[in-house]
Chain A
Amino acid sequence: AQTVTQSQPEMSVQEAETVTLSCTYDTSESDYYLFWYKQPPSRQMILVIRQEAYKQQNATENRFSVNFQKAAKSFSLKISDSQLGDAAMYFCAYRSAEETSGSRLTFGEGTQLTVNP
């Protein structure tokens, strides 16, 4: 079974600064997808960024980028120019590309990000 680990329960960053959230995962599969989701106080999970394991190029979405290290099974999220609205719980998630198990996401424990003005 796949597992996702986020070793930072809490992180803080000053507004306009850069912060990196860590995520590691364990899998025996070679084809899969990785995601970062944001959960603000409204509780609605919002997709921030996604990465296909077969792509070597790191995904980027505006101020959000990832550092995907497949051999190390590491998938960190970098938030540049942090804004107050970035404050939320961030979850790293894994999804298999296998047909029989590709319907479910496996989430990490989450990292609570605080943005200080």
Chain B
Amino acid sequence: DTGVSQNPRHKITKRGQNVTFRCDPISEHNRLYWYRQTLGQGPEFLTYFQNEAQLEKSRLLSDRFSAERPKGSFSTLEIQRTEQGDSAMYLCASSPRALRTNEKLFFGSGTQLSVL
């Protein structure tokens, strides 16, 4: 168990550019989640996958955001035409089965995005 891995750890970009983050969940975890955390706030839910299917999306996930999880393994989160308001830490988490059974989430260390 190597934990949830997120890359890159930091990303600095200019406004209007596209960025992509990657998350590698714990192996055999079929559920994967993306959260966004702005400074001084708690994480906010963005979206979640069960295997390769994206089952839930937050209203925070505008049309500039897209997430994929091909083959139900790693996931990518892409932000197109970045805006300064997108600056935040993007957290990924995974769990081995349905959260309804009270399984805990395993979080990565996040990708810190700064949009200049």
Contacts and interface: CB of A to CB of B under 8 A. Distances in A.
Sorting the interface of chain B by its residue count into under 10, 10 to 19, 20 to 34 or 35 or more gives 20 to 34
Interface residues of A, number: 25
A45 B91 contact: yes
B42 A95 contact: no
Interface in A31-63: 33, 35, 42-47, 50, 52
Contacts of B98: 102
Given A43-B110, A103-B33, A104-B56, A110 B41 contact: yes
Given A33-B102, A103-B48, A104-B48, A109 B109 contact: no
A109 B42 CA distance: 5
B88 to A, nearest CB: 12
Given A45-B93, A106-B45, A110-B40, A95 B99 contact: yes
Interface of B: 31, 33, 35, 40-45, 48, 55-56, 58, 89, 91, 93, 98-100, 102, 104-105, 107-110
